[in-house]
Amino acid sequence: NAGVTQTPKFQVLKTGQSMTLQCAQDMNHNSMYWYRQDPGMGLRLIYYSASEGTTDKGEVPNGYNVSRLNKREFSLRLESAAPSQTSVYFCASRVQQGGSSYEQYFGPGTRLTVT
Amino acid sequence: DAKTTQPPSMDCAEGRAANLPCNHSTISGNEYVYWYRQIHSQGPQYIIHGLKNNETNEMASLIITEDRKSSTLILPHATLRDTAVYYCIVRVAGYGGSQGNLIFGKGTKLSVKP
């Protein structure tokens, strides 16, 4: 049981290049999330997918697109990278069941630098 | 979601209890208190959550005041590996839409010293 995995771990892009960050979870969780974390800051939600087939914007969605490929996988795409998107990106997943409250599980992060 | 207030930093001696406070004076009746921590460069890790009763698990204890306007996370015997940023988050339980979303502040940087 690997939990939440992210690829790549590190990436350097030039301004204007595109790339896709991959995330997968093997816990059969319904919901998945993408966050970014800038130095000295807390995490900010970019996009989330409450269940397979749905995606919604979070706090900072501009410049990003997402795809919930299936229940396991949730990808984040930067179409035209900008230096302001230099950050650490975390993916997370959460089970949703009834009215109970379940914690989120986070991946190890992708460290992206845009020059 | 209710706003939380945490001290930016705290120190604790190794082996002693670490008590991390959190104020959430505007908390609603259906909002839970969650604690997560983030060890340097890693993804956040869930610690504990509660609604109004005190909670304990293998990692920590959570003490919520009777009026629910503040809480304290207690690490009973802090070790060097507990050095991390600790986030207190208040949000509703439930599923569907944005109900599972977490809003992270800057947290408290706990430094455990030998």
Q: pLDDT tens for residues A68-80? A: 989 999 999 999 9
Residue B109 pLDDT: 96
Q: Closest Cα of chain B to A79: distance in Å?
A: 25
Residue B5 pLDDT: 96
A96 and B93 in contact by Cβ < 8 A? no
B62: exposed, middle or buried (Cβ count in 10 Å: 0-12, 13-18, 19+)? buried
Q: Reduced to 3 states, what is the DSSP secondary structure of residue A85?
A: helix
Q: pLDDT tens for residues B33-88? A: 999 999 988 999 999 999 998 999 999 999 999 999 999 999 999 999 999 999 99
Residue A96 pLDDT: 67
Chain A interface includes B107 (CB < 8 A): yes
Residue B1 pLDDT: 63
Q: Reduced to 3 states, what is the DSSP secondary structure of residue B80?
A: helix
Average pLDDT estimate for B86-103: 78
Q: Is the pLDDT of residue B2 over 70?
A: no
B44 and A106 in contact by Cβ < 8 A? yes
Q: Reduced to 3 states, what is the DSSP secondary structure of residue A32?
A: strand
What residues of B are in contact with residue A59 (Cβ under 8 Å)?
103
CA distances from A46 to A32, B31, B39, B43 (A): 11, 23, 22, 16
Residue A41 pLDDT: 85
- Smallest CA–CA distance from B109 into chain A, residue: A40
What percent of chain B is modeled with pLDDT above 90? 75
Q: Is the pLDDT of residue B3 over 60?
A: yes
Q: Closest Cα of chain A to B42: distance in Å?
A: 6
Residue B30 pLDDT: 85
Mark residue B63 as left, alpha or beta (left: phi above 0; alpha: psi -120 to 50; beta: remaining): beta
More confident site: B77 or B102: B77
Q: pLDDT tens for residues A13-58? A: 999 999 999 999 999 988 999 999 998 888 999 999 988 889 999 9
Residue A13 pLDDT: 97
